[in-house]
Amino acid sequence: MKNRKPLMAANWKMNLSLDEARDLLAGIKGAAIDFDKVDVLVAPPFTTLQLARELLSGTDVFIAGQNMHWEAKGAFTGEISPLMLKEAGCTHVILGHSERRALFLETSETVNQKVEASIEAGLTPIVCIGETLEEREEEKTFDIIGAQLRESLKSKCQQGKLPEGLIMAYEPVWAIGTGKTATPEQAQEAHLFVRRWLKENVGHDTGEAIRILYGGSVRPENIKELMSQPDIDGALIGGASLRADSFLSIIRFYEG
Ligand code: PGA
């Protein structure tokens, strides 16, 4: 029996107009969700954060940024700071998503700076790691995610200050937006690796407490089987989080 509360996190990426967002947020707000059984989070684009805060006020739904800079302020055109995310109503921030790593050349070193800055600002980071198809085929999966863990969490690990509330997301790159989900066994194997790494490097209790989300083509049809795995504590959902019906049916996996 897992003691960790499941978390279903919606990553909207660069999608939805304000009107579309309004409809989706209204659908989430109006739904019967048992917040004792599940935590729910939405990560809209920056320009939709204010609307999300307004429409979700009075609910238990958390709001996250999809990225941020590590500095508090300054000449960083196009960037957003931890404090700005907080002011916009965010409690969490997604860091090191594979699209950021692949398309915007983010490295685990910069993710590490962001992890440190987010924690110091009082935001909970959702730190993404995962291997490409090529890396999996070359049997490098655990080397890759091991290195991403070590480098992305470096500062807080060295300081002995990695918080239990930190959230990890294992997202095999080949499963994102492709309709190819990792099998529950493949996902569990990777999650167990992450959990063992955390226990060895951060401490048993923290490693046990940290939630590890699975991401990559999560759908209403596969969520139950994924959630039945001992080390899968929730999901980071892209495509299927853009419609209220599919996101809600993923959230309500607990209905059995
Ligand atoms: P997907 O995206 O559910 O559309 O595969 C997941 C993610 O990238 O977080």
pLDDT digits 0-9 by tens, 109-145: 999 999 999 999 999 999 999 999 999 999 999 999 9
Model confidence over 154-183: pLDDT tens digits? 999 999 999 999 999 999 999 998 888 889
Please check the confidence at residue 188 and state whether its pLDDT lies above 80: yes
Q: How many residues does the chain have?
A: 256
Indicate the average pLDDT of the chain: 96
Whole-number pLDDT of residue 180: 85
Whole-number pLDDT of residue 256: 79
Parse the chain into domains and list their residue ranges.
7-251
Separation of CA 168 and ligand 1 centre (Å): 15
Judge whether 20 counts as a catalytic residue.
Answer: no
The candidate with the shortest Cα–Cα distance to 6, out of 45, 34, 43, 44, is 34
What one-character DSSP code corresponds to residue 222? T
Mean pLDDT of 189-201: 97
Catalytic residue of the set 99, 131, 135, 171: 171
- Find the distance separating the first CA and the last CA of the chain, reported in whole Å: 16
Closest ligand 1 atom number to CA of residue 178: 5
Tell me the whole-structure pTM to 2 decimals: 0.97
Percent residues over pLDDT 70 in the chain: 100
Model confidence over 17-46: pLDDT tens digits? 999 999 999 999 999 999 999 999 999 999
Residue 1 pLDDT grade (very low, low, confident, very high; cuts 50, 70, 90)? low
Pocket test for ligand 1, best of 176, 213, 221 (most atoms within 8 A of CB): 176
Could you tell me the two tokens for 231?
């080390």
Whole-number pLDDT of residue 204: 95
d(CA 70, CA 68): 7
CATH architecture of 7-251: Alpha-Beta Barrel (3.20)
- DSSP 3-state assignment of 168? strand
